[in-house]
């Protein structure tokens, strides 16, 4: 998905609120630079702080559609950057 589509509405004139914008795995991978298996591994490690998914349907079946909150993924990425900067300082 193009970045411009993430940050503007369908008509392109109104900014989207990242705190209520749901993104799918492809966008998560593009933002954090990690592969799908690594993302799911991080989700299973509470100490990683990686954001949890939001179920998009009531299905409990494996492979049921899920998404992530854009602002939470961005915050996690910012945390990794801050951790890098703390080590460098």
> pLDDT tens digits for the chain (89 residues)?
444 455 556 666 678 899 999 999 999 999 999 999 999 999 999 999 999 999 999 999 999 999 999 999 999 999 999 999 887 66
- Nearest one of 17, 79, 10 to 42, comparing CA atoms: 79
- List of residues 6+ apart from 26 with CB closer than 8 A: 1
Question: Domain span at residue 68?
Answer: 3-56+63-88
Q: What is the pLDDT of residues 1-14, one digit of tens each?
A: 444 455 556 666 67
**Tell me, what's the pLDDT at 9?**
60
Number of domains in the chain: 1
Residues in Cβ contact with 82 at an 8 Å cutoff, skipping those fewer than 6 apart: none
**From CA 77, how far away is CA 59, in angstroms rounded?**
29
Q: At 78, which CATH number?
A: 1.10.1660
Place of tokens 């910012």: 78
């Amino acid at each position: 998905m193009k970045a411009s589509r993430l940050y503007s509405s369908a008509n392109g004139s109104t900014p989207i609120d990242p705190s209520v914008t749901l993104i799918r795995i492809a966008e998560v991978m593009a933002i954090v630079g990690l592969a799908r298996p690594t993302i799911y591994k991080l989700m299973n490690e509470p100490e990683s702080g990686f954001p949890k998914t939001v179920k998009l349907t009531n299905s409990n079946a494996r492979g049921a559609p899920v998404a992530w909150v854009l602002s939470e993924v961005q915050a996690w990425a910012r945390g990794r950057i801050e951790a890098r900067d703390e080590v460098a300082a």
